[in-house]
Amino acid sequence: MSAPHEWRELVVVDLGLGNLRSVERAVLAASEGLGVAPETSAQADVVARAKRLIVPGQGAFRDGAAALAANGGALAQAIRAHLAGGRPYLGICLGLQLLLEESDEAPGARGLGEIAGRVVRLAPETVVEGGLARRLKVPHIGWNQPECLPGRAGDELGSLLADAGEAPWFYFVHSYQAMPDDPTLVAATASYGCLEITAAIVRDNLIATQFHPEKSQKAGLSLLRRWLAYRP
């Protein structure tokens, strides 16, 4: 076991939410042959020493915010220091949403505030198919094709998807989406009926996806593997 002060190659942050096993398995598969030893931890001192950080999550914004704020906000401080240090960050689902300031899901709960903006609930829309009107279901669950947007953020995400195939499919499960104040941070969107959903955000060393690479089979493993070799 490595000493607490030593650098970790890759840490998956355990917020105590959702099933981390699928993330751990996907990261292990994607890191094969790269010499990266992933470690899962809820300890702020371990997170603070990560060269690469993955913050996943399936669960409520309020619970995630509470995990970040526990012990005097030690975990939040460690993640902010990681971002400020220019080290690669990958946020997945809640790990994206917690980067923003607040969420409609949990009034009064505070996110990391690393990205100005808020998380808003998907608005059910009426769509017409084959002459029949139906309401879009919320949450949005299932496979969708993110579209990388032109410009630096989208181009950078596109480079990570280069081996995933043309217009790759990824798995989504969410009722809320991130809405940053700066729209140029949105690297990809996905269409769900009449809605255009924020699918990914990119800023400097920070990459965060609303979809779940760890549940997205070949395309997800391709993205994870390229991210493990990514240098901001």
Contact call for residues 42 and 78 (beta carbons, < 8 A): no
Q: Please give the Cα distance from 223 to 16 (Å, whole number).
A: 24
Question: Is 214 tagged catalytic?
Answer: yes
What angle, 0 to 180 degrees and rounded to 10, lies between the N-to-C axes of helices 217-228 and 152-160? 110
Question: Is 148 tagged catalytic?
Answer: no
Q: Which of 82, 140, 174, 212 is catalytic?
A: 212
Give Cβ neighbours of residue 30 (< 8 Å, ≥ 6 apart): 221, 224, 225, 228
Question: Is 194 tagged catalytic?
Answer: no
Contact call for residues 100 and 186 (beta carbons, < 8 A): no
Q: Which of 24, 82, 93, 114 is catalytic?
A: 93
**How crowded is the C-beta side of 195, counted as CA atoms within 13 Å?**
21
Residues that are catalytic: 93, 212, 214
